[in-house]
Amino acid sequence: MTIFNRNDNKPADSKLSAIDALQTPKPTEQPRPQAYAQPLSPPAKTGASMASVISKALKITGQLESTEDIQIDGEIDGDVRGVGVKIGNNAKVKGTVYGDEVELAGTIDGRIEAKKVILTGTARMSGDVSHQDIKIESGAFIDGNLKPDFGKTAGSKPTVAPFKPVAAVAPATPDKSAEARH
């Protein structure tokens, strides 16, 4: 045991002293740590309160529904249901967009059914709009009927309705969906 101790201690000591000798003059040369007014890296995003973002690289074929806001910059082939739905400049939606508030700067080929509808100057709307409140900026393209009948007719559905099955879903997915199990 003592042998091991002796052998262990010797090189360790000599190493340590060598390191000490090297390091002792250094601390005085090192720059003093500076205080930063702001943290160096931004705080991590908290996912819980974030709205959904469908970026321009994303293409969805199917249905999409959310109890939160949705920002769409990509391409959607199907219906969209959300609370606040923003459809960005280069976005394309083929289908019906339901929501409390729908802001369109891109293209919709289908319908809008929303309480409040905003069509910006770059909007391209092919289809009917059912609304309560609408704002149309100069430059917007509309090919369809505008009817202020949202919530009045039997045809307009509630904002969030249950899923309908879609044929495009992969066959590997069993049809027992999450709702059935949880």
Partner 1 sequence: MGLSMFALSRRSDARFAPARSSAELPPSFLGSGIRVRGVLEIEGELTIQGFVAGRIAALKLIIAPGGRVEGDIVAREVVVSGNLNGRIFAPNVTVEETAHIDGRIFHNTITVARGAHFDGRMPWRPVNFFETLDQLPETQP
Kindly tell me the burial class for residue 142, based on how many C-beta atoms sit within 10 Å of its own C-beta (0-12, 13-18, 19 or more).
Answer: middle
Judged by CB under 8 A, the residue of 10, 15, 59, 152 near partner 1 is 59
Binding of partner 1 by 57 (CB under 8 A): yes
Judged by CB under 8 A, the residue of 5, 46, 138, 173 near partner 1 is 173
Nearest of 108, 109, 62 to residue 85 by alpha carbon = 108
Binding of partner 1 by 178 (CB under 8 A): yes
Binding of partner 1 by 12 (CB under 8 A): no
Instruction: Tell me, residue by residue from 121 to 160, as one string, x for binding to partner 1 by CB under 8 A and - for no binding.
Output: ----------------------------------------
Touching partner 1, residues 63-102 (CB under 8 A): 63-68, 70, 73-74, 77-78
Dihedral sign, CA of 162, 93, 118, 125?
negative
Judged by CB under 8 A, the residue of 7, 14, 17, 61 near partner 1 is 61
Query: What are the phi and psi torsion angles at 158 (to 5°)?
Result: -60, 160
Q: Residues binding partner 1: what is the number (CB under 8 A)?
A: 38
Binding of partner 1 by 168 (CB under 8 A): yes
Q: Backbone dihedral region of 26: left (phi > 0), alpha (psi from -120 to 50 degrees) or beta?
A: alpha
Tokens of 99: 């929501």
Binding of partner 1 by 37 (CB under 8 A): no
Q: Please answer whether residues 101 and 85 qualify as being in contact, where contact means their C-beta atoms are separated by less than 8 angstroms.
A: yes
Q: Please answer whether residues 102 and 117 qualify as being in contact, where contact means their C-beta atoms are separated by less than 8 angstroms.
A: yes
Tokens of 154: 């039997």
Binding of partner 1 by 47 (CB under 8 A): yes
State the residues that interact with partner 1 by CB under 8 A. 47-48, 50-68, 70, 73-74, 77-78, 163, 165-166, 168-174, 177-178
